[in-house]
Amino acid sequence: MNEELFVSGRDIPNIDPYLNIWHWQIPLYLFLGGLAAGILFFAGFYTVRGKADRMQATVKWAPLLAPIALVLGLGALFWDLKHELYFWQLYTTVRLDSPMSWGAWTLMVITPLSLVWVASYMKEIFPWWDWKFSFLNKFEAWVIKNRVGLAWVMMVYAVILGVYTGILLSAFNARPLWNTSILGPLFLVSGFSTGLATTILLSKDPKERKRLSQIDLIFIVIELFLITHLFMGFLAGSETAIEAANLFLGGPFTVTFWVFVVALGLIFPAVLETLELLGYHVPKWLPAVLILFGGLMFRFIMVEAGQITRYLY
Amino acid sequence: MAIDTKKCVGCGDCVVACQTENNVPHGYCRDWIVERVDGTYPSLSLEFRSERCNHCDNSPCVRCCPTGASHKAEGGIVLVTHHKCIGCGACIQSCPYDARYPHPEGYVDKCTFCIHRVEKGQKTACVDVCPTHCLHFGDLDDPNSDVSLALKDRKWKVLAPEAGTKPQLYFLT
Mean pLDDT of the region A13-24: 91
- Given this model, what pLDDT does residue B154 score? 94
Instruction: Give domain status of residue A95, yes or no.
Output: yes
Residues of A in contact with B171 (CB under 8 A): none
Asked whether the predicted pLDDT for residue A105 surpasses 90, the reply is: yes
Instruction: Give domain status of residue A286, yes or no.
Output: yes
Q: How many CB atoms lie within 10 A of CB A220?
A: 26
- Given this model, what pLDDT does residue A224 score? 97
Query: Cβ separation of B87 and A172 shorter than 8 Å?
Result: no
The single-letter code of the amino acid at A309 is T
Q: Within an 8 Å CB–CB cutoff, is residue B91 touching chain A?
A: no
Each residue's pLDDT tens digit, A31-75: 999 999 999 999 999 999 999 889 999 999 999 999 999 999 999
**DSSP of B70-90:** EEEPTTS-EEE-GGG-----H
The torsion defined by the Cα of A236, A237, A243 and A246, in degrees rounded to 10, comes to -30
CA distance A73 to A51: 30
Pairing mode, strands B170-172 and B156-157: antiparallel
Q: Which of A15, A87, A172 sits opposite B86 (nearest CB)?
A: A87
> Which residue from A minimizes the CA distance to B64?
A98
Each residue's pLDDT tens digit, A209-225: 999 999 999 999 999 99
Share of chain A above pLDDT 90, in %: 84
Query: Cβ separation of B94 and A174 shorter than 8 Å?
Result: yes
Instruction: Give domain status of residue A120, yes or no.
Output: yes
Structural domains of chain B, ranges and CATH numbers in brackets: 2-172 (3.30.70.20)
CA of B37 vs chain A CAs: smallest distance (Å): 5
Q: What is the largest CA-CA distance in chain A?
A: 78
Q: Which of A4, A14, A99 sits opposite B102 (nearest CB)?
A: A14
Give chain A's mean pLDDT.
94
Contact A58, A46 (CB under 8 A): yes
CATH of the domain at A243: 1.20.1630.10
Below-50 pLDDT ranges, chain B = none
- Given this model, what pLDDT does residue A7 score? 83
Structural domain span for residue A299: 25-308
Q: How many CB atoms lie within 10 A of CB B83?
A: 9
Q: How confident is the model at residue A284 (pLDDT cuts 50, 70, 90)?
A: confident
CA of A117 vs chain B CAs: smallest distance (Å): 28
Instruction: Give domain status of residue A11, yes or no.
Output: no
Asked whether the predicted pLDDT for residue A95 surpasses 80, the reply is: yes
- Given this model, what pLDDT does residue A70 score? 96
Query: Cβ separation of A13 and B88 shorter than 8 Å?
Result: no
- Given this model, what pLDDT does residue B52 score? 96
Q: How many residues does chain B have?
A: 173
Residues of A in contact with B90 (CB under 8 A): 98, 100, 172
- Given this model, what pLDDT does residue A5 score? 84
Query: Cβ separation of B93 and A172 shorter than 8 Å?
Result: yes
Instruction: Give domain status of residue A18, yes or no.
Output: no
A1, A12, A106: which to substitute to probe chain B, counting the most B Cβ within 10 Å? A12
